[in-house]
Amino acid sequence: MPGIIDTDVHQTLRNKEDILAFLPKVWHEQYMTHGIGLSNPFPTPIGVNRKDAVPEGGGPAGSDPQFMLKHHVEAYGIEYAILTGGGETGVALIPDLDYGNAIIRAYNDHYMEKWLKADPRFKGSILVNAADPAEAAKEIDRLADHPDMVQVILCSGARTPYGHRFYHPIYEAAERHGLPVALHPGSEGKGMAYPPTPVGYPTRYMEWHNILPLTFMAHINSMVCEGVFEKFPGLMVVAIEGGIAWLPHLMWRMDKNYKALRAQTPWLKKLPSEYIMDHIRLTTQPIEEPGRPGELLQIFHMVNAEKTLMFSSDYPHWDFDNPKVILPPMPREMKARILSGTAYELYGSKLKKPSQAEVSR
């Protein structure tokens, strides 16, 4: 079995109070009374976490680095776990930008202290406020040199698609520091976001969760068409926790339309699907599970999985994908690329790849 990099692992606060030491006093009362203040009209009936992931020492699932190492990282022989955070990811949907920015800084500071110092296998994502791109760029500048911060992360909930020039300061900063920008779902329809679908509110958690990848399609479509990857040719984008099988449709539809409508986007120099192949990476979970399993491998070929996919588990969430069983039968080389090869390439110098000698031991 090749090494594993798990590209979506959720750490969380043990107590709400955890970040108070890093949050300016002016916000304490608001935070302790209202939290980050994002409504959630779609509560999960089964809880968001695996019942078996509660740390022995107490606290919520995902709140104890040592327990996570034992229960997940070591249990599956994971070389690196890319931490992607919890409910704070949706800060960009808080109307008060100053409050959102303060929460973000406190969260990032607490996280570096508690998690990134705990073990070199934990790598981090710099949370930024996409609704305030100038401040987001400053936060990237502040933390990009941290040896364990390997990417920037945005929530996929937004009021404007991510290709819009409004966001370009974030991409300029990320590209300058050589950091990929990741998107993570979960905030759709919360705070000041539009409803989770273009036709309004789904009814309950299941319907809401079923259509989360809609935001990914909208953002990727926008980033490619707006020329983000011509303007920032070094930028890489990671679509986390949206699955995979929607990508062929999007690429093909974009390519077909581009052939007739490219006069609208004269800055594009190649097919939309080529930008996607060169600049977008997807994490596998929640991997689709067709009734006829061979069809998933067909999808893998359609998206050039050797190049674009990276394994993720979503530990400790309820829809966790187990790396030992979740991937369909596939060529050995493809599997090695998905389990860690592409992630080593993407996160580059901040992940130390074991030498061949170490691997053979």
- What is the total count of residues that contact its own copies (CB under 8 A)? 76
Is residue 131 within 8 Å of 100, Cβ to Cβ?
yes
DSSP code, position 154: E
Does the footprint of its own copies cover residue 352 (CB under 8 A)? no
For the CB of residue 318, give the shortest distance to its own copies in the complex, in Å. 7
Instruction: Identify the residue whose tokens are 């996409």.
Output: 130
Does the footprint of its own copies cover residue 241 (CB under 8 A)? no
Q: Which of 146, 152, 148 is nearest to 172 (CA)?
A: 152
Nearer to its own copies, 24 or 293 (CB): 293
Q: Which two tokens stand for residue 360?
A: 């053979």
Q: Which two tokens stand for residue 240?
A: 């986390």
Is residue 26 within 8 Å of 103, Cβ to Cβ?
no
For the CB of residue 262, give the shortest distance to its own copies in the complex, in Å. 8
For the CB of residue 154, give the shortest distance to its own copies in the complex, in Å. 11
Nearer to its own copies, 57 or 290 (CB): 290
304: phi then psi, degrees, rounded to nearest 5 = 50, 60
Nearer to its own copies, 45 or 145 (CB): 45
Helix (H, G, I), strand (E, B) or coil at 197: strand
Helix (H, G, I), strand (E, B) or coil at 89: helix
For the CB of residue 254, give the shortest distance to its own copies in the complex, in Å. 5
For the CB of residue 195, give the shortest distance to its own copies in the complex, in Å. 6
Does the footprint of its own copies cover residue 290 (CB under 8 A)? yes
Binding to its own copies (CB under 8 A) within 107-166 occurs at: 156-164
Binding to its own copies (CB under 8 A) within 270-289 occurs at: 273, 286, 288-289
DSSP code, position 116: I
Mark the segment that binds its own copies (CB under 8 A) among 108-116, 169-177, 217-225, 327-335. 217-225
154: phi then psi, degrees, rounded to nearest 5 = -125, 150
Is residue 296 within 8 Å of 237, Cβ to Cβ?
no
Does the footprint of its own copies cover residue 266 (CB under 8 A)? no
Q: Which two tokens stand for residue 102?
A: 């303060």
For the CB of residue 271, give the shortest distance to its own copies in the complex, in Å. 8
Binding to its own copies (CB under 8 A) within 6-25 occurs at: none
